[in-house]
Amino acid sequence: MAIARQTFYGSALRILVICAVVACIYYLWAGQPTVSTAIAIGIACVILARLVIRARLFPNPFGETDRDYSVRPVLWGIIKGGVCLSAAFVWGIGCVLAMRYLVIPDTPLVEYGLMGAPFVLLILAGAWFLIASGIRAVYGHDRRGY
Residue 3 has pLDDT above 60, yes or no: no
Distances (CA, A) of 106 to 25, 114, 120, 135, 144: 46, 11, 19, 41, 52
> Of 58, 75, 93, which closes a domain?
58
Q: Do 19 and 77 reside in the same domain of the chain?
A: no
50 and 74 together in one domain: no
For residues 107 and 86, state if they share a domain: yes
Whether 48 and 31 map to the same domain: the answer is yes
pLDDT band per the 50, 70, 90 thresholds, residue 122: very high
d(CA 76, CA 98): 32
Domain match, 78 and 103 both: yes
Provide CB contacts within 8 A for 101, sequence distance 6+: none
Which tens digits make up the pLDDT trace of 60-110?
A: 888 777 777 788 888 999 999 999 999 999 999 999 999 999 898 888 888
Which pLDDT belongs to residue 1?
Answer: 47
Can you tell me the mean pLDDT for 118-126?
96
Alpha helix segments (H runs only) across 1-142? 2-30, 35-54, 72-100, 108-109, 117-139
Question: What's the pTM value of the predicted model, to 2 decimals?
Answer: 0.76
The residue ranking higher by pLDDT, 32 or 127, is 127
Range of the domain at 126: 67-146
Instruction: Indicate if 83 and 138 belong to the same structural domain.
Output: yes
**Domain tally for the chain?**
2
Mean pLDDT of 50-55: 82
Average pLDDT for 16-31 = 82
* pLDDT, position 78: 93
